[in-house]
Homo-oligomer: A and B are copies of this chain.
Amino acid sequence: MEHLPGFREFFPEPIPSGEAWSAAVREHLFERWHAVARRYGFQLYDGPPVEPLELYTAKSGAEIAGQLYHFTDKGGREVSLRPEMTPTVARMVAARERHYKKPLKWYSIPQLFRYERQQKGRLREHFQLNADIFGETNTAADAELIALLIDLLRAFGLSSEDFVIRLSSRNVWQDFYRRHGNSPDRAYDFFQVVDKLERNDPAQSDATLRELGLSLEAVRAFIAQGAPTVELQAVLDNLAARGLAEFVRVDYTVIRGLAYYTGIVYEAFDRHGKFRAIAGGGRYDELVTLVSGGRSNVPAAGFAIGDVVLTELLKERGKLPAIGERLDAYLMIEDESRRGESLSLLQRLRDAGMVVDFSLTPAKPDKQFKRAQEAGAAFTLALDAQLRVRVRHLATREEAILPHEGVETHLRSKLA
């Protein structure tokens, strides 16, 4: 029996297949993400992986509605596996924001889902780090988020030669459309054309733009001039003060597809142009109001970075560490009469926080030693007939004979 199409299985390293992902690689990403987000003072939250369908259909716009992994539950409810985290966190903030000091700096690492009927071979799930700041309209919040995004990528050894943040703003395009467009109620259609400008057929883009009183030529000319607005310059200055200027550039081709964005938006791209966007985000000052039916009004901004493109990018750039089993020690049992005493030593070492494995059943010493090497053990240990511990450092082949009690201290000093 197979797993469902589009879902990944995460095996331990080393993985015998060709996938880039494994549980160890995923954990490597998550651990660094947690560490960097915490360093920025962000706090962890999580929400339900299943949500009422209408949380997405009304809020995110046409871009997401056709891609939802939605179904009818046993109670007859129309529900969906979460396709994104933003509506969930907007609801959570609306419900409890009065109990927290603002601004809130919250992050999460949810698994997200989508289901497009047509596309075969596409993943139906991925993981994302989501980071958001609630309760701050100042562009300083956007800059703090972009700095975090940069450091989330730098944490894996990526530099400004590997990626760039393309910075833009819905406000800029809102103004442009207000000045030049002819159908005020079709602004979102216009944003969709800009969002897909690099992917769609130029003739088709031009046709839609002309319906709106615009033209592809005018839009391209506006993108080409690319001068930062006062709002964007404030973000650039803030990032420059942090020494992060080289990671950002203004690029008005970025506008983001989702309906709820209201201000500064940005996407992180591979400089070599080989991968889809690595991350994206922006300001969504009205979503909390919308989700709470007006009971709560909290401005917000945030971004998401997915595990799939980042893992592929890190693999391609050789930035994924060799991850395998790594034991502090492998406890060899060379004489079965000493298994009981060996188990006692095993427990003591594990109690002391050491990663120790051993052969559950009798095995020849050379087979146990081979297993220790395969498992990447730093040391082998074995009790001799006097119940002293023979410690062997595998890298240097150094050996020492120690009393039963002194082993933890000896190993810890060598491992540190």
Interface residues, chain A, with chain B CB atoms under 8 Å away? 1-4, 7-13, 16-17, 23-24, 26-27, 35, 38-41, 43-52, 54-55, 69-75, 77, 79, 81, 88, 91-92, 95-96, 99-101, 103, 105-106, 108, 111, 113, 115, 117, 125, 133, 136, 138, 140-141, 144, 147, 151, 237-238, 241-244, 291, 293, 325, 327, 339-341, 343-344, 346-347, 350-351, 353-357, 360-361, 371, 374-375
Contacts and interface: CB of A to CB of B under 8 A. Distances in A.
A39 B4 contact: no
Contacts of A41: 325, 327, 355-357, 375
A101 B371 contact: yes
A229 to B, nearest CB: 19
Given A10-B47, A151-B350, 8 more contacts: A1-B52, A2-B52, A3-B52, A4-B52, A9-B46, A16-B96, A27-B44, A147-B347
A26 B46 CA distance: 10
A360 B140 contact: yes
B347 A243 contact: yes
Contact of A74 (B40, B71, B106, B351): B71
A346 B242 contact: yes
Contact of A16 (B11, B52, B99, B138): B99
A45 B11 contact: yes
Contact of A39 (B43, B125, B354): B354
A148 to B, nearest CB: 9
A393 to B, nearest CB: 19
Contact of A91 (B3, B108, B344): B3
Nearest to A154: B351
A32 to B, nearest CB: 11
Give the dominant DSSP class at A's interface: mixed
A375 B24 CA distance: 33
17 contacts: A3-B52, A3-B91, A4-B50, A4-B51, A4-B77, A7-B49, A9-B48, A9-B92, A11-B92, A13-B43, A23-B46, A23-B108, A24-B43, A39-B354, A41-B357, A49-B111, A242-B343
Contacts of A100: 12, 16
A113 B54 CA distance: 22
Contacts of A54: 1
A45 B9 CA distance: 8
A104 to B, nearest CB: 8
A340 B241 CA distance: 5
Contacts of A125: 48-49
A142 to B, nearest CB: 10
B91 A374 contact: no
Contacts of A341: 241
Given A69-B74, A350-B40, A3 B51 contact: yes
A3 B74 CA distance: 16
Contact of A242 (B16, B91, B99, B344): B344
A189 B227 CA distance: 76
A151 B45 CA distance: 27
A75 to B, nearest CB: 7
A103 B360 contact: yes
A246 to B, nearest CB: 13
B74 A117 contact: yes
Nearest to A371: B101
B7 A48 contact: yes
A4 B79 contact: yes
B1 A291 contact: yes
Given A11-B92, A71-B73, A242-B344, A356 B39 contact: yes
